[in-house]
């Protein structure tokens, strides 16, 4: 029985060796064969050199290095395609996903009752309040309008059986939103809660704008609800205009008032124009995703590895 850890790394020269040291300590105590698969996601710092030297010291370490930054989703996918273990876990390099949880997670899987053990943060200590608020709203919304089944505070950190990993690899879509994919494929999942841990070294790669775009991507990837906004708006506006028509006709017949109001006409025109552009924009988002999907570009390009055989996409 073998355990694979997938560790996406982007500018993690400081954190990667710490992760390697701490995880090795935990894994040695676990009585299981293991591998650590580091994915260098086009780092601009010395991450690749650090990974080379870790691999030279420790035969458990393999690394794949991308030709540029492809994003964490692509890095995780490369990991899933190349991991050889019967059990596979994705972990951040910054120690925010504590390796000390691994023994407990393995035990839960070994009981045979679950196919995966997922983790969620119960607190968001050390994070801006406004970000936590938006995150909470995002989870509420996406669960309402999609069948992705995403738990608030869920991390990408989970331990999975091979069957589940194969199902994820099977989902070869270009626009990836793993939190949604994990939920969509189903399987029996145990949720393990833990308190937020702060990053051990280096800096977070996420700012508010990036997170916002990530949230929008998630919604577009897992729900068609925004597309129906146009129809609902259309029905609503038709109804309102019908009422207004009756009002104007009655006013003319009863009181003989001519229709006045240049300003109100312009307001209504601008409003309708705005709604139309908004709806077009939503459609544009879906069309852009379809366009990227139809190109069938590779998810990532590997420029260097110490692995004998590379599996690009299964």
Give contact residues for ligand UDP (rule: CB under 6 A).
8-10, 12, 41, 69, 71-72, 75, 92-94, 96, 199, 204-206
* Phi (first) and psi of residue 34, to 5 degrees: -150, 160
71 vs 85 by CB, closer to ligand UDP: 71
Q: Label the pairing between strands 87-90 and 2-9.
A: parallel
**Shortest separation between residue 167's beta carbon and Mg ion, angstroms:** 26
13 touches which of Mg ion, ligand UDP, none (CB within 5 to 8 A by kind)? none
247 touches which of Mg ion, ligand UDP, none (CB within 5 to 8 A by kind)? none
Contact residues for Mg ion (CB under 5 A)? 92, 94, 96
307 touches which of Mg ion, ligand UDP, none (CB within 5 to 8 A by kind)? none
Helix 225-255 crosses helix 262-295 at what angle (to 10 degrees)? 160
**Shortest separation between residue 240's beta carbon and ligand UDP, angstroms:** 43
241 touches which of Mg ion, ligand UDP, none (CB within 5 to 8 A by kind)? none
205 touches which of ligand UDP, Mg ion, none (CB within 5 to 8 A by kind)? ligand UDP
Contacting residues for 52 by C-beta, under 8 A, at least 6 apart:
63, 306
35 vs 94 by CB, closer to ligand UDP: 94
**Shortest separation between residue 223's beta carbon and ligand UDP, angstroms:** 22
206 touches which of Mg ion, ligand UDP, none (CB within 5 to 8 A by kind)? ligand UDP
96 vs 307 by CB, closer to Mg ion: 96
94 vs 115 by CB, closer to ligand UDP: 94
40 vs 223 by CB, closer to ligand UDP: 40
**Shortest separation between residue 313's beta carbon and ligand UDP, angstroms:** 18
**Shortest separation between residue 112's beta carbon and ligand UDP, angstroms:** 31
The DSSP result for the chain, as a single string, is -EEEEEEEESS-TTHHHHHHHHHHHHHHTTTSEEEEEEEE-S-SSTHHHHHHHHHHH-TTEEEEEESS---HHHHHHHHHHH---SEEEE--TTSSS-GGGHHHHHHHHHTTS-SEEEEEES--TTS-HHHHHHHHHHHHHHHHH-S----TTEEEEEEEEHHHHHHHHH---SS--HHHHHHHT---EEEEEE-----SSS--S--HHHHHHHHHHHHHHH--HHHHHHHHHHHHHHHHHHHHHHHHHHHHHHH-PPP--HHHHHHHHHHHHHHHHHHHHHHHHHHHHHHHHHHT--S--EEEES-SS--S--
Question: What are the structure tokens assigned to 50, written together?
Answer: 């650090």
* Count of residues making up the chain: 314
41 touches which of Mg ion, ligand UDP, none (CB within 5 to 8 A by kind)? ligand UDP
93 touches which of ligand UDP, Mg ion, none (CB within 5 to 8 A by kind)? ligand UDP
Nearest to 137 by CA among 152, 147, 156: 152
**Shortest separation between residue 10's beta carbon and ligand UDP, angstroms:** 3
185 vs 200 by CB, closer to Mg ion: 200
**Shortest separation between residue 161's beta carbon and Mg ion, angstroms:** 25
121 vs 176 by CB, closer to Mg ion: 121
**Shortest separation between residue 3's beta carbon and Mg ion, angstroms:** 22
């Amino acid at each position: 029985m073998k355990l694979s850890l997938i560790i996406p790394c982007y500018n993690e020269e400081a954190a990667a060796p710490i992760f390697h040291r701490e995880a090795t300590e935990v894994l040695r105590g676990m009585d299981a064969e293991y591998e650590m698969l580091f994915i260098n996601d086009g780092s601009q710092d010395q991450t690749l050199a650090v990974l080379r030297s870790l691999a030279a010291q420790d035969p458990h370490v393999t690394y794949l290095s991308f030709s540029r930054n492809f994003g964490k989703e692509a890095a995780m996918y490369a990991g899933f395609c190349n991991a050889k273990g019967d059990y596979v876990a994705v972990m951040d390099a910054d120690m925010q996903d504590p390796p000390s949880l691994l023994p407990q997670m393995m035990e839960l899987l070994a009981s045979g009752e679950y196919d995966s053990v997922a983790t969620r943060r119960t607190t968001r200590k050390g994070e801006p309040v406004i970000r936590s608020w938006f995150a909470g709203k995002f989870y509420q919304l996406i669960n309402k309008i999609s069948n992705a089944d995403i738990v608030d505070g869920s991390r990408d950190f989970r331990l999975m059986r091979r069957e589940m990993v194969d199902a994820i690899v099977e989902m070869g879509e270009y626009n990836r939103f793993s939190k949604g994919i994990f939920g969509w494929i189903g399987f029996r999942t145990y949720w393990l809660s833990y308190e937020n841990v702060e990053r051990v070294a280096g800096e977070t790669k996420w700012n508010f704008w990036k997170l916002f775009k990530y949230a929008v991507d998630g919604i577009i990837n897992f729900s068609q609800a925004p597309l129906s906004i146009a129809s609902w708006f259309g029905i609503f506006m038709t109804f309102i205009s019908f009422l207004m028509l009756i009002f104007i006709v009655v006013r003319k017949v009863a009181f003989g008032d001519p229709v006045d109001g240049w300003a109100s006409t312009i307001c209504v025109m601008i409003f309708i124009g705005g709604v139309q552009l908004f709806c077009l924009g939503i459609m544009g988002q879906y069309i852009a995703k379809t366009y990227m999907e139809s190109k069938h570009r590779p998810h990532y390009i590997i420029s260097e590895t110490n692995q004998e055989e590379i599996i690009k996409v299964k």
